Structure 1
């Protein structure tokens, strides 16, 4: 009969095995995100890293860090290229200063009625290939695209149609979204997100392009803006999951496949989990008779998209990549009867 291993010996053996496994990773990477730790998206991204380690049998180990952990949010592309960090999961709009195509691809305002449309375009209609044409000269490779969900407007007056935006004092960040709302008849006001609550309370603005429905609800925006939109119709930021290009080029094909598959899975999981969070908030809000949730009709969404298209055409002329992206998206939207 085999004798049992003494507990002390067993503990040493287990610790030794754990140490061996910890050292067994062929690739150890650090990825920085654009969220603070504890946010729903941040937790989903940490789960993605854990799944990659499991799927690769421990060959890949990824540490996920919050925004500003190593560099600022506008500096992660350069940090990935130089090897300061190996990857990032972030909105490409942060890099608009390096190339306007990052802003255009990062958030093509008015294009998408649902994050699944965006993911379909990126995965199956050439979006990811165009993005890699853009980003690879900067030393990074897009593993795959993800998305959060459509952002929701909060408003002190109902916005059921594009015409209802006439004269609307609306908080919007500078850039494409600002210009598009201006074309739609609104009067955009450039305010930091930290001032939105107070600006709504004091009537400085009538409405705000701020964030997703659940977060607006948690921040108490509906107290002064009781006409939120849901689902949203304007802004859908991309989450680019990218790795240093030199590292990517040197990976074996099986690990490339694991990374691509894992990002695709995370993308749909992120959409589902964040939508569930929004729907839970919608359910709570509907109990309050003083708040009316407005879902803009498909016809009015198409009107807004056509207004947005005018600004897309302006941005398309900025360089070859912006033009190629514009042509590609417009073709997709027309082929799917979305424009």
Structure 2
């Protein structure tokens, strides 16, 4: 389906406004239909129906079905969509706080650390402070996982990043690696394998271990760092606040619980895939997996903190995210 603009769909939202009581909710994902994460999201949608005895049905749509991936927030506020499952960083242009809470590079060494921050460290409250003014309600968080790191050379800690030529996307990821002494370059994902193979780069921020293994990255970069130490994106599940407020307390609780259960399913599914790929990689005898000790992860986190501080200057909300996150990490002994 051709993606329509927000403006073109505003009239449609007026026509459907009368269906406020209708518990069939349209959510758009930031993942394509064939992506394994989207298949898990469809399972979440089915679980909502089960938990509410059919009172709430969620129609899960793949990316670009109704609007562009970075327009879902506006579409939800306008009533064109009812909700989304999406990477929060897509809205960093509206407020630097969205970018910082979406992926504070280096903050987490495990998906559960991010989920604990969201549910126990004030992250969920921050998300609603950010989203409510835009007409959205944060239901809960999930993540596609902590990215591993592919490298042609052994990396035992922060000191080995000095002068390392690596691929990293523009923005906070590049900033943090540069602050750690590396030499990041911006390359599209399609060029990572060839660039590693030809020696244009020595390492790359790419994706999770199982995907790296499946795509042959370890054939040309046999020194992966796993578990990873840098990037763990927040995927938010949010919906139109007016529709959320129209739900009963029991329905709201059911939705919140469904998202918490879904996040655990996604994290455990990915961990299983990573561990299977890890076993295969080690069995080959050609790959050396490097697991950074906690003190090296803490060093990298401290370097990253300096870059978070710069982002925090972008808005009052971003400063609040920074203050809340760093307080939590210090409290947990992670910084």
- Equivalenced residues, count: 315
2:100 matched to 1:92? no
Deviation at 1:50, TM superposition (A): 0.3
1:180 paired residue among 155, 176, 182: 176
Return 200-209 or 257-266, whichever deviates more.
200-209
Compute the TM-score of the two structures, normalised by the length of structure 2.
0.92
Secondary structure at the counterpart of residue 184 of structure 2: strand
Structure 2 SS opposite 1:234: coil
Shift of residue 257, structure 1, vs aligned partner:
0.7
Whether the 8 Å CA contact 2:308–2:322 is kept in 1: the answer is yes
Q: Aligned pair 1:151/2:147, yes or no?
A: yes
Point out 4+ residue stretches in structure 1 off by more than 6 angstroms: none
Unaligned runs of 5+ in 1: 1-24
| Paired position in structure 2 for 1:275 | 271
Aligned counterparts of 1:204 and 1:115: Cα–Cα separation in 2: 31
Out of 322, 325, 332, the position equivalent to 1:329 is 325
Matched, 1:117 2:117: no
Is contact 2:149–2:228 with CA below 8 Å preserved after alignment? yes
Partner of 2:191: 195
Following the alignment from structure 1 to structure 2, what is the Cα–Cα distance between the partners of residues 161 and 124?
30
Aligned mates of 2:132, 2:52 — CA distance in 1: 25
Instruction: Please tell me whether residue 254 in structure 1 is matched to residue 250 in structure 2.
Output: yes
**Aligned pair 1:310/2:311, yes or no?**
no
| Structure exhibiting the larger radius of gyration computed from Cα positions | 1
- Please, what TM-score do these two structures have when normalized by structure 1? 0.91
SS of the equivalent of 1:142 reads strand
Cα offset for 1:148? Answer: 2.3
Q: Structure 2: any 5+ residue segments left out of the alignment?
A: 1-20
Structure 2 match to 1:168:
164
Report the counterpart of residue 10 of structure 1 in structure 2: none
Question: Could you tell me how far 1:199 is from its partner in structure 2?
Answer: 1.5
Specify the alignment match of 1:287 in structure 2. 283
RMSD over aligned CA atoms reads 1.1
Q: Deviations over 1:94-119 (max 9, x none)?
A: 11112111111111110011111111
Q: Does 1:243 align with 2:239?
A: yes
